[in-house]
Amino acid sequence: MERDPKSEYFVLRQTVAARGTARPILALCGFGIWAAVLTAVLVLLPYPAAASIPLMLLVVSFEVIRPLHFGAERIGRYIQVFHEEAGEPNRPLSETPSWERVAMSFGAVPGVGGHPLFVPMFLFATAINYLAVLLPAPVAIELGVMAIPHLAFIGWLVTSDRAMRNQRAIELVRMRELKNAPR
């Protein structure tokens, strides 16, 4: 079945927009629930091991947001290669849609906008979450054991941030390979 390129382009752009709208809403909800649970843990469960409960909420919140961003970026590269670079029959390339092409060539502007994965906020929240370990006056072994999941999450945040920074260029090359591969 042949698909209409204009409707596909429109649906894919709507998908990218919806994912872009959902990410900050989900982040705000996740941080709000995390803060409430962290407060409850500090008040009701003043044990260092209880810090794992709100930490798990941070991890889950991040894991809900991360694939939305990575998926939207992949859709963007598909749009760029299969719709924008391809052009439309009987129209010059300058008159075809070009959002992805222009956005990618524009690049990042330091200090403008937020982090698409909210990594700085998750790092800050992870540091605050460790207060649930420190405040109940833990013994040394509790400090060390509870540092492991906090540091593991920080490592995951840093790894995801690096992957996000490289994703566009890598996937652009791959999409072009897919487009030019023999069928």
Single-letter code of the amino acid located at 30: G
Residues 76-117 have pLDDT tens digits of: 999 888 888 866 655 655 666 665 655 555 555 556 678 999
Q: What is the DSSP letter of 98?
A: -
Q: What is the pLDDT of residue 107?
A: 59
At residue 74, the pLDDT reads 94
**Would you tell me how many other CB atoms lie within 10 Å of the CB of residue 17?**
11
At residue 49, the pLDDT reads: 95
Is pLDDT at 25 greater than 60 in this prediction?
Answer: yes
Task: Give residue 90's pLDDT.
Answer: 56
Mean pLDDT of the chain: 88
Determine whether 113 is exposed, middle or buried from the number of CB atoms within 10 Å of its CB (0-12, 13-18, 19+): exposed
Mean pLDDT calculated for residue range 118-135: 96
Given a cut of 90, is residue 161 above it in pLDDT?
yes
| CA nearest to 164, candidates 31, 68, 27 | 68
Token pair of 24 as six digits? 């900050």
Q: What is the mean pLDDT of residues 8-12?
A: 88
